[in-house]
Structure 1
Amino acid sequence: MAQTFTFELVSPEKVVLAGEAEQVLLPGSEGDMTILAGHSPLISTLRSGIVDVAFSGSKARVFVRQAFAQVTPDKLTVLAEKAYDVAELTGATLAREVEKAEADLAGAKDDDQRRIASQAIDLLSRLKS
C-alpha cells in the first residue's frame, strides 16, 4: 500500500477537497509537480490548471485559479482564489473563467503574464469541448 499524506484544497468559501492522498499532480507556475508522501518542504505559486488527486481507491480533478501550494513531508495545502470540481463545471462557469483569462491576457504587462493567461485560455477552451 502506498504511503499517504494529508491533503487540503481550500478556497475563500470552503474546504473544497480534503483527505489522505497517495499522490497529487499540481500545475506549478514553472511546470507540473507531483507530490508524494515525504516530499521536501516547498512553497510554490500555481498557474490556472487542474489539480489531480489520487486517494486510496478514488481520484479527483479540480480546476484552480490564482493558487499556491505549501508542501511539508506529511501535508499539502493548496489555497486557491477559485476552485471547481472538473466534473461539475458548467458552460456558464467556463465562459466566465475564459472571460477572466482573456482580461488577464489583455492586461498582461510582460511575457510571463501573457504566457500564464494564454495557458489558462487554452486549458479552459479544452474543458469546454
Structure 2
Amino acid sequence: MNTMALDIVTPNGSVFSEEDCEIIILQTKQGELGVMAGHVPTVSALKIGSLRAKIDGRYEYFAVTEGFVEIRPERVSVLIQAGEFAEDIDTARARQAKERAEQLLEQAKDEKVDRYRAELALNRAINRINVSEHA
C-alpha cells in the first residue's frame, strides 16, 4: 500500500511526525479534505477542527487550531498554532474553557468584550471536547 509522511508543526516545533500514513483527513476552510499518497500538490487554509491520520490500519485523532496545510505527493505538512492528540486532551479543562467562553459571549451583549476572540475560544474548546471522544 502506498503511504505518505505527515508532519504537524507549531511555533514551538514539531509535535508529530510519521512516515507511513495511509490517509490523512483535514478540516479546511473549504470543507473536509482526504489526502492519500500521490495527491496533487496543494496549499489550503485549515479551520479549527480535527485531523485524522490512518496509520497501520487505525486512526490517530488530533485537535488542531487554524493554520495551513501544504500537500505534496509524498508528504503533508500541517502548520498550526496548537494541536493535541485526542488522548492528551484534558476534557475537564476543555469544558471549563467552554464555559468561560460562553460567559464572555453572554457579557458581549452588554459590555465591551472582544466577541471574535470569545467565539474562537469557544470553537477551540468545543473542538477539543469533540476530539477527546476518540481517545
Band of TM-score, shorter chain: 0.7 to 0.9
Counterpart in 1 of 2:93? 92
1:109-120 superposed matches below 5 A: 120=124
Tell me the CA shift for residue 126 of structure 1: 3.9
Q: Distance in 1 between matches of 2:99 and 2:31?
A: 21
**Corresponding residue for 1:111?**
none
Does the 8 Å CA contact 1:97/1:124 hold for their aligned counterparts? no
Structure 1 residues 84 and 97: CA distance shift in structure 2, 3 A = farther
Q: State the partner residue of 2:4.
A: 5
User: Which aligned segments of 4 or more residues in structure 1 are displaced greater than 6 angstroms?
Assistant: 100-103
SS at match of 1:107: helix
Once residues 98 and 70 of structure 1 are traced to their aligned partners in structure 2, the CA distance between those partners, rounded to angstroms, is 34
Deviation, 1:14, is: 3.1
CA distance in 2, matches of 1:99, 1:38: 43
Looking at structure 2, the residues matched to 5 and 56 of structure 1 have their Cα atoms a distance apart, in angstroms, of 12
Gaps of 5+ in 2: 106-113
Q: Distance in 2 between matches of 1:96 and 1:12?
A: 22
Q: Deviations over 1:74-113 (max 9, x none)?
A: 110001101011111002145447757977x8127xxxxx
TM (norm. structure 2) is 0.72
2:68 corresponds in structure 1 to 68
Identical aligned residues as a percent: 17
Maintained 8 Å contact 1:8/1:76: yes
Match of 2:43 in 1: 43
When the two chains are superposed, the root-mean-square deviation of aligned CA atoms in Å is 3.0
Task: Decide whether the 8 Å contact of 1:9 with 1:18 is kept in 2.
Answer: yes
Q: 1:123 aligns with which of 111, 123, 127?
A: 127
Q: Compared with structure 1, are the counterparts of its residues 50 and 35 closer, same or farther at alpha carbon in structure 2 (3 Å cutoff)? A: same
Specify every segment of 5 or more residues in structure 1 that has no aligned partner in the other structure, as ranges.
Answer: 109-113
1:7-66, CA deviations, whole angstroms, 9 ceiling, x for partnerless residues? 111112232211121100001111000000000011011110110001124431110002
Paired residues in the alignment total 121
